[in-house]
């Protein structure tokens, strides 16, 4: 049964977007403006008005979740009339369906296998081994990232043009050629191939392309600002016949250029399709007017945008809080104190802390663990559970305590020292017989010449290093912070991360720098290791409410009652690397990221920055982000720190951790919980 009321709940702009059925259409959908409702209502309207049968509609999303949501909503409107929407899905799922029908055109059988990332890495490793490429210097994941970049640009190996100065790409291109041939031999393809192959089939076979371009009377695309070159090319090939291409998105939320997304697809849409109708959805159903006013003012500083002004019928709401703190620790304390105040009004599940870089979560995690505020990391791992942090801590543990077999086992061959599983098994057996630690067993086996020469050399160097580090620590030749830096340098761990081309190594190095900063807060190695043990042992896996922590990139598409946005400082946000690599385009993408962060908030947004930040083991002076200067003062509530004489900054006392003379000083509930726990 058809629900005829589907148009009644739409505003004027939404109705126009739903009923404008002829010709190319670009829907500029602001944050929280109901784009999913518009898309689903448009599909229902096309079918209801008999403009096309369900199987003549192509509706494309980026995620399976979005596709299922769209299918569900259309079904609620049309009932059985939605049956037959067989071309509603993700880019990859639809292209997989097309490719199975025409696999022979790219030398595949219709029963081809789609390999996952693990299979890709295994295949790349095998190729590198055969071609004598050192995976310690050129990580398989990095190789795959470059291959994926080429595929996103629509390039088979014979179509790639590389910069001769780029030694890595010169090495990777032959790997790409072999990799692609291997996939064909295995009757397989990867996710990048799904779209690339279909595009090549359409480009080289007019008859096949004609079948689908004629059949798809209407094409709808969600999150169009996130499309890359090959996705846009595929859509243009299909839409060339009927021109009824409707693309929905928000150029102000284009934040994935590092994944290949090209904002120009959105900005130049009306140039590709000359008769494009542009409709702006500017009424927001998520946030208060004050939040929207701040976000709109900020993003208006971008030049490369279609342009829109968000508005809402909701209340003005509270002013956006802008807090300045003495340092990063005070920032974490200030935010935790604010959370204590608001948790009676808002569920912790509806509160989020959005950071620019994942290493920023450390200080918040430390604070929350200390005072007992439960939290979760969305789209990432808790700080002390990250692999590189666990590696560093393992090195410190085995230096501190030579019987720590778990630590020994973790780092004895990390980085690689030619100490494989078979050698470790022998050491384990010897250790068990002698009832001694793995380290003791290793030293004894070397002494008795029970280790193969190649392995013996690597193991000996490692054990000698342990002895040296222990001696330096015990004789106070170094402190615990310098000790870790020494370990990282002398073990080759730092060089492994710095020299290896790996897509994740930059984040790993940032996390290690943050760890070095954290260690300076402790008097010695013992107190630090005890802290780590306690931090990792506290049970956070309970079913109650938790604060959400994530990067701003991970927050896109989500919403929360209250959003904290810390670390708005030059170099950190906007990120220096983004500006250095992409110039003005990088700055504008960083500003779009700020816009995304602010518009995740429904009720309250709290922005903050620090005057000083402990970074890479040293205190550095911080400057407020240029984005803060772009925020409209009329919608901001600044904390008392702004009123202080900046020359008296050292006298500023915000946090609850200082040893106050006045025993009656106000303490936060979290601080009281902490004091009770340690007594």
| Residue corresponding to tokens 């951790």 | 657
Q: Distance between CA 192 and CA 259 in Å, rounded?
A: 12
Q: Distance between CA 171 and CA 513 in Å, rounded?
A: 31
Residue pair 37/29 in contact (Cβ under 8 Å)? The answer is no
Q: For residue 678, give both structure tokens.
A: 């340690």
- For residue 377, the SS3 value is strand
Residue pair 627/594 in contact (Cβ under 8 Å)? The answer is yes
CA distances (Å), 577 to each of 319, 495, 571, 634, in order?
A: 32, 21, 8, 32
| Residue corresponding to tokens 């505003």 | 11
Residue 447 CB contacts under 8 Å (≥ 6 apart), including other chains: none
Q: For residue 288, give both structure tokens.
A: 């208060």
Q: For residue 397, give both structure tokens.
A: 């543990």
Q: Distance between CA 150 and CA 161 in Å, rounded?
A: 10
Residue 585 CB contacts under 8 Å (≥ 6 apart), including other chains: 257, 304
| Residue corresponding to tokens 């050491």 | 427
- For residue 159, the SS3 value is helix
What is the sign of the dihedral through the CA atoms of 254, 258, 260 and 265?
positive
Q: For residue 33, give both structure tokens.
A: 């403006």
518 secondary structure, DSSP code: H
User: What burial letters (b/e) apply to 233-249, b meaning 16+ CB within 10 Å?
Assistant: bbbebbbeebebbbbbb
In the chain, how long is the greatest CA-to-CA distance? 87
Q: Which H or E run contains 432?
A: helix 421-434
Beta bridge partners of 518: none
Q: Distance between CA 637 and CA 635 in Å, rounded?
A: 7
Helix 289-299 vs helix 576-598: crossing angle, to nearest 10: 150
Q: What are phi and psi of 238, to 5 degrees?
A: -75, -35
Q: For residue 119, give both structure tokens.
A: 């299979």
Angle value at C-alpha 68, between 66 and 70, nearest 5 degrees: 70
CB-based burial label for 665 (10 Å; 0-12, 13-18, 19+): exposed
Q: What are phi and psi of 336, to 5 degrees?
A: -65, -40
What is the sign of the dihedral through the CA atoms of 500, 505, 510 and 513?
negative
DSSP 98-152: HHHHSGGGGT--TT-EE--HHHHHHHHHHHHHHTT--TTTB-HHHHHHHHHHHHH
User: What burial letters (b/e) apply to 74-97, b meaning 16+ CB within 10 Å?
Assistant: bbebbeebbeebebbbbbbebbbe
Beta bridge partners of 601: 560
The full 3-state SS of 274-295, as one line of letters, equals CCCEEEEECECCCCCHHHHHHH
* Catalytic residue positions, numbered: 35-36, 222-223, 253, 600
Q: For residue 213, give both structure tokens.
A: 């371009």
């Amino acid at each position: 049964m058809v629900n005829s009321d589907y148009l009644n709940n739409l505003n004027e702009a939404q109705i126009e977007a739903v009923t404008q059925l002829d010709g190319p259409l670009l829907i500029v959908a602001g944050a929280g403006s109901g784009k999913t409702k518009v898309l689903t209502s448009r599909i229902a309207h096309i079918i209801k008005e008999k403009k096309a049968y369900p199987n003549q509609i192509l509706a494309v999303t980026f995620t399976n979740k979005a596709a299922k949501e769209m299918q569900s909503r259309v079904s609620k409107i049309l009932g059985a009339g939605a049956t037959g929407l067989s071309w509603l899905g993700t880019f990859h799922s639809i292209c997989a369906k097309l490719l199975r029908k025409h696999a022979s055109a790219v030398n595949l059988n219709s029963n081809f296998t789609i390999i996952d990332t693990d299979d890709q890495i295994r295949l790349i490793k095998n190729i590198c081994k055969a071609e004598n490429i050192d995976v310690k210097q050129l990580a398989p994941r990095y190789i795959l990232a470059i291959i994926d970049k080429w595929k996103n640009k629509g390039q088979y190996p014979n179509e790639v043009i590389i910069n001769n100065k780029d030694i890595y790409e010169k090495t990777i291109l032959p790997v790409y050629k072999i990799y692609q041939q291997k996939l064909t031999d295995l009757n397989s393809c990867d996710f990048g191939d799904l779209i690339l192959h279909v595009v090549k089939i359409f480009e080289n076979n007019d008859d096949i392309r004609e079948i689908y371009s004629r059949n798809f009377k209407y094409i709808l695309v969600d999150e169009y600002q996130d499309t890359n070159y090959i996705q846009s090319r595929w859509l243009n090939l299909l839409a060339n016949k009927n021109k009824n291409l409707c693309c929905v998105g928000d150029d102000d939320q284009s934040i994935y250029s590092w994944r290949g997304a090209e904002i120009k697809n959105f900005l130049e849409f009306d140039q590709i399709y000359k008769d494009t109708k542009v409709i702006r959805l500017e009424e927001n159903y998520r946030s208060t007017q004050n939040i929207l006013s701040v976000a709109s003012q900020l993003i208006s500083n971008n030049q490369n945008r279609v342009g829109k002004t968000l508005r809402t019928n909701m209340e003005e709401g509270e002013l956006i809080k802008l807090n300045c703190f003495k340092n990063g620790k005070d920032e974490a304390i200030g935010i935790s104190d604010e959370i204590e105040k608001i948790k009676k009004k808002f569920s912790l599940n509806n509160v989020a802390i959005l950071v620019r870089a994942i290493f920023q979560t450390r200080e918040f995690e430390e604070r929350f663990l200390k005072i007992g505020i439960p939290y979760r990391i969305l789209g990432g791992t808790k700080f002390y559970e990250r692999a590189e942090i666990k590696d560093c801590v393992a090195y410190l543990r085995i230096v501190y305590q030579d019987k720590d077999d778990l630590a020994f086992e973790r780092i004895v061959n990390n980085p690689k020292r030619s100490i494989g599983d078979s050698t470790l098994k022998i050491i384990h057996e010897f250790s068990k017989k002698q009832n001694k630690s793995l380290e003791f067993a290793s030293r004894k086996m070397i002494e008795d010449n029970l280790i193969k020469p190649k392995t013996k050399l690597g193991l000996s160097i490692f054990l000698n290093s342990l002895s040296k580090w222990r001696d330096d620590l015990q004789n106070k030749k170094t402190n615990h912070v310098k000790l870790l830096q020494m370990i990282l340098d002398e073990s080759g761990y730092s060089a492994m991360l710095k020299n290896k081309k790996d897509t994740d190594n930059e984040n790993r190095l940032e996390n290690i720098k943050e760890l070095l900063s954290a260690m300076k807060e402790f008097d010695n190695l013992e107190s630090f290791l005890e802290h780590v043990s306690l931090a990792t042992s506290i049970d956070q896996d309970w079913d109650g409410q938790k604060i959400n922590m994530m990067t701003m990139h991970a927050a896109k598409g989500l919403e929360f009652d209250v959003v904290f946005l810390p670390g708005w400082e030059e170099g950190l946000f906007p990120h220096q690397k983004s500006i250095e690599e992409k110039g003005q385009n990088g700055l504008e993408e960083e500003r779009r990221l700020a816009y995304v962060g602010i518009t995740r908030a429904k009720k309250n947004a709290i922005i903050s920055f620090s005057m000083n930040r402990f970074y890479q083991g040293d205190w550095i002076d911080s400057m407020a982000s240029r984005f803060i200067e772009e925020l409209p003062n009329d919608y901001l509530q600044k904390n008392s720190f702004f009123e202080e004489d900046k020359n008296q900054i050292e006298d500023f006392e915000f946090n609850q951790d200082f040893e106050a003379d006045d025993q009656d000083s106000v303490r936060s509930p979290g601080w009281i919980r902490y004091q009770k726990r340690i007594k």
